[in-house]
Amino acid sequence: MSPARRPAAEEPVSAHEVLAVVFQIRDGQLCVLVWQRGRPPCEGLWALPGGRLGATEGLGESIRRQLAQKVDVRELAHLEQLETWGDPDRNPFGRVLATAYLGLVPADIDPLVPEDTRWHPAADLPPMAFDHAAMVHAARRRLRAKLSYTNIGFALAPPEFTMSQLSHYYRAALGHDVTATNLRRVLLRRGQIEETGRSVPSGRSGGRPAALFRFRTRKLEITDAFAVLRPPS
């Protein structure tokens, strides 16, 4: 006779939370939205926005609800699932799975955030709670990869921009220099951007007015599956 199965009520149960790594280019730096915890565990450390998955919620529904407590989710230009962290010891209070999302806010928006919440440079994180620093690093790698083979730059930039402005956004996200001339050539060849037919007036130093561009679509597309935006040699 086979041994009786342990009743379902005795099975170990794991909690599940959803978290968001929300990036925005601010003052020339790729910044991440974090909030300071006011109670244990990890009191005083900085954490990603998010919380426990509701009993009747899907993952996407839950992260949007959780994010709405920190930032206007209507200002997110892009949100995608990143990966799931399941180390049994990641939370000292018990087994908690965490599914992280990558979110992007365009550079021309200044969202209102609560007093306990800040934008911190992603390259110089404050002391982080749990494994949230690892999630930020994973999200940076995902963003850098997608800037090479998709049009995800639309989620970092305002609706219209000069190539000089766009190259600054790419430089901040990629972590290496990107010239406006080369970026223009690459993105036009891949069909990601187009000229608007308008320009911005030249500054006090004179020169030709700078042409305004826009992304051809503000929905994610794979434009070159094998492309890589490499640092200058």
Domain boundaries, the chain: 13-148, 153-215
The model's pTM is: 0.91
- CB-CB contact of 107 with 157 (8 Å): yes
Residue 54 DSSP one-character state: P
Give SS3 for 63.
Answer: helix
Pick the CATH number of 153-215 from 2.30.30.30, 3.20.20.150, 1.10.10.10, 3.10.50.30: 1.10.10.10
What is the reported pLDDT for 220?
97
Fold of 13-148: Nucleoside Triphosphate Pyrophosphohydrolase (3.90.79)
Q: Are 187 and 149 in contact (CB under 8 A)?
A: no
Cα–Cα distance measured from residue 103 to residue 122, given in angstroms and rounded to the nearest whole number: 13
Spatial separation of the C-alpha atoms in residues 48 and 130, rounded to whole Å: 10
Q: Which of 49, 2, 26 is nearest to 105 (CA)?
A: 26
**What's the maximum distance between 2 C-alpha atoms anywhere in the chain?**
91
Per-residue pLDDT of the chain (233 residues; tens, 9 = 90+): 555 544 444 444 569 999 999 999 999 999 999 999 999 999 999 999 999 999 999 999 999 999 999 999 889 999 999 999 999 999 998 899 999 999 999 999 999 999 999 999 999 999 999 999 999 999 999 999 999 999 999 999 999 999 999 999 999 999 999 999 999 999 999 999 999 999 988 766 666 889 999 999 999 999 988 777 777 76
Give the pLDDT confidence score for residue 209 in this predicted structure. Answer: 87
pLDDT at 13: 53
